[in-house]
Amino acid sequence: MLFNSIDFAIFLPLVFILYWFVFKKLKSQNILMLIASYVFYGWWDWRFLSLILFSTILDYSIGVLLAKENSLLKRKVLLFTSLGVNLGFLGFFKYYNFFLDNFIAAFTFFGGNFTAEPLHIILPVGISFYTFQTLSYTIDVYKKNLEPAKDFISFATFVSFFPQLVAGPIERASNLLPQFYKNRVFNKGQALDGMRQILWGLFKKIVIADQCAEYANLIFNNSESYNGVTLVLGALFFTFQIYGDFSGYSDIAIGVSRLFGFNLMQNFAFPYFSRDIAEFWRRWHISLSTWFRDYLYIPLGGSKGGTGMKVRNTFIIFLVSGFWHGANWTFIVWGALNALYFLPLLLLKKNRSNMGIIAGDKLIPSFLEFRGMFLTFLLTMLSWIFFRANNLTHALSYIKGIFNETLFEKPQIFPIITFIYLIFFLILEWQGKSNQYAIQETFAKNNIWLKWSFYMILLLCIIGNVSNEQDFIYFQF
């Protein structure tokens, strides 16, 4: 079920009414939320509900056993059982054909003759997200940083919680799971804030991402037909498409959660206003970046070792992050490219130079801030070409098509309306960059008519663009 669908527009109010006005007790609310989450996921393909249920039973049982077990060896066996099964499912559904194809290619390269038919595997929606979410629970329980769940319904609802089940944020068990144990009381202010964030998320998705997707797809799918400056615009459109699409999903997920009394972590913090790549990765897909930091980077030694260890760990994190995104060499190169961007900052110990909000309370940034933001944006846009391209050959030919004499010609595609939307969007993002999301405080202290007129403008923009509906990009991850 998509957030930007008629089905969800009916589903959400129905669950909301039942949740607050019919099932008022904690246990019944959790059961309702569990059923709603399974309906939400099963709407796409009910067969994969068994996969979530199996992972839920497995990790709940391992958590219970870890609480009773003191033997270090047996605790490690339990931990690696959870890691092996969950990552095994992820590996099979997502990477089986990738490894098979590359094994055949390597075998053939060395003179062998090996053939095998790839499997026609359907990738379960959201498997990369809920797998990491359940792993955070098992690892935290193993480390004794979290008490194991004693109520199966609460744990099952945590695993399948529908607002963020499909595309995050990837919630830590230590943050989300305890919220299922506490009585929740309807809070009007929290609900209104949630509605406001949902509105902004829908605007990002339907008006910004889907508008940009139309032209990004056209240019990338026919890149050989366009001149250099048009290819730059294609990369620019995809840069805003993926941000509006993914951060828009996160905004809707966080807003929907607040309607039901839950607080999820911020997943994007205005990343395109970053002054260097290190800052960008502190602001982009925060739930994944911090997951890799806490469960992979720090256990590997983090930045405490020598230069060689720092370089090794940096490349491991970015390459794994790239591979997490998909079974294609383009994602791995995308990860490696970002590691190369990051490395000079790490080695010069400047990776934490920009920790505050750009420009602070000032209306415009300083020249140095603007220069850093502009260069970081260009580097990020270049790396997104690999992310969007069909394969490495396509990515390299696309970049080659940019850097020639046609870079200074007239664009072959220049959608004025889309650029107007982007300028409007960037103005709102800039004025709200100190908040959790851009319009959290927009017109909050002004006349109520001005505030609601602004909301109506956003709503009319959304309604005016619903015919250009696109799937969420991260559904495939």
Residues in the chain: 477
Global pTM exceeds 0.75: yes
Q: Which residue has the tokens 């996921």?
A: 41
The string over 124-135, giving b where at least 16 C-beta atoms fall within 10 Å of a residue's C-beta and e elsewhere, is: bbbbbbbbbbbb
Sign of dihedral through CA atoms 341, 342, 348, 353?
A: positive
Distance of alpha carbon 56 from the chain centroid: 22
Task: Kindly state the tokens that stand for 152.
Answer: 């199966």
Q: What angle do CA 52, 53, 59 make, to 5 degrees?
A: 90
- Of 475, 22, 458, which is closest to residue 204 (Cα–Cα)? 458
Catalytic-residue membership of 285: no
d(CA 365, CA 156): 47
Both tokens of 103, joined, read: 């094994």
Catalytically annotated residue among 120, 285, 325, 394: 325
> Are the C-beta atoms of residues 313 and 300 closer than 8 Å to each other?
yes
- Tens of pLDDT along the chain (477 residues) come to 788 888 899 999 999 999 999 998 999 999 999 999 999 999 887 888 999 999 999 999 999 999 998 899 999 999 999 999 999 988 888 876 665 665 565 556 556 665 666 666 677 788 888 899 999 999 999 999 999 998 999 999 999 999 998 887 999 999 999 999 999 999 999 999 999 999 999 999 999 999 999 999 999 999 999 999 999 999 999 999 999 999 999 999 999 999 999 999 999 999 999 999 999 999 999 999 999 999 999 998 877 778 888 899 999 999 999 988 887 899 999 999 999 999 999 999 899 899 999 988 888 999 999 999 999 999 999 999 999 999 999 999 999 999 999 999 999 999 999 999 999 999 999 999 999 999 999 887 778 889 999 999 999 999 998 876 677 777 666
Helix (H) or strand (E) holding 12: helix 6-17
- C-alpha distances out from residue 298 to 82, 129, 131, 386, Å: 20, 21, 20, 28
Rounded Cα–Cα distance for residues 92 and 72 (Å):
29
Alpha-carbon distance of 435 to 442, in angstroms, equals 10
Whether the CB-CB separation of 167 and 474 falls below 8 Å is answered with yes
Are 248 and 208 in contact, with CB atoms under 8 Å apart?
yes
Judge contact between 269 and 429, C-beta under 8 A.
Answer: no
Are the beta carbons of 275 and 287 closer than 8 angstroms? no
